[in-house]
Amino acid sequence: MRMSENKKKFKMLGNTHPAIIAVWAALHAASALLPTIPIVGTGFSFSVGIIFAPLAGIFFGPIAGAAAATVGSFIGSLIAPHTATFGLLSFTTELLSALVAGLVSRGGKFWPLSLLFAVGGSGLWLATAAGRAFPLFMVNFALGALAMVIGGIFARKWLTGRNIALQFVAIWTCTIASLLGASVPFGNFLCILMYGLPAEIFKPLLFVTPTERAIFSLLAAIIGTPLLIGLPKIGVYVGPQEAAFDEEPVEDEEP
């Protein structure tokens, strides 16, 4: 008794065909052309398309999701350089966002790895003069870590269940965990490193940052929940659905 080769391939890719992942990367890249949102007090801006990165992790898993986010973000920074705050390195924050969202959404024994990004982000923050001058900002990283714990324990069950409200909450939780716990700390570190931003810049962002990310996570949940429900019905498998292929192994015919 063993699983068919096709199912094995799908399982390795989060049950999603590589062509679907490539299409998502293309949509991610095109999203760079969407209107940008200014980051209060910094002179920088970012595209609302950042929600495509955590959704990639939730839909395709941490590895395939991170690959899709990396390709999509990198191409997006080429076609819309005004949104590339860190130049060609801009893809790194979205790579981390997809990776963490994927880990949290899959639960199991690997989700605690996501906490390493919140802890590492705190270390990077304290490694800068601005961070040491304003350690209170790490409250945001702690909120991200809290969302990682809640999502790691409950998100997989909620995403694979039939309660639409819980699926919505799960996508919101995984998204804000990835943004506050991984994307924000690493992005802020790059800002300080590349542009020498002082602590005064970040003080008004103490409340603005989690509010903005909560709104973006809400947008991700509004877009992601119907896709999570509808795409599998047309054969496009997204979300943590690997268990569906583990219940009954298929025996291949012997020649």
The SS3 call for residue 100 is: helix
186 belongs to a structural domain: yes
In sequence order, the 6+-apart residues with CB closer than 8 A to the CB of 37 are 45, 46, 47, 48, 212
Average pLDDT per run of 10 along the chain, which is 255 residues long?
43 67 93 73 68 95 94 91 83 96 94 97 97 97 98 96 96 98 95 92 92 94 95 87 44 44
pTM of the model: 0.87
Number of domains observed in the structure of the chain: 1
CATH number of the structural domain spanning residue 229: 1.10.1760.20
251 belongs to a structural domain: no
254 belongs to a structural domain: no
- Determine the pLDDT at residue 247: 39
- Determine the pLDDT at residue 190: 94
- Determine the pLDDT at residue 2: 42
Structural domain of 135: 5-245
- Determine the pLDDT at residue 245: 37
Q: How far apart are CA 49 and CA 41, in angstroms?
A: 21
255 belongs to a structural domain: no
250 belongs to a structural domain: no
- Determine the pLDDT at residue 12: 42
188 belongs to a structural domain: yes
- Determine the pLDDT at residue 255: 43
The SS3 call for residue 6 is: helix
- Determine the pLDDT at residue 246: 39
72 belongs to a structural domain: yes
In sequence order, the 6+-apart residues with CB closer than 8 A to the CB of 43 are none
Q: How far apart are CA 3 and CA 6, in angstroms?
A: 8
79 belongs to a structural domain: yes
DSSP 246: T
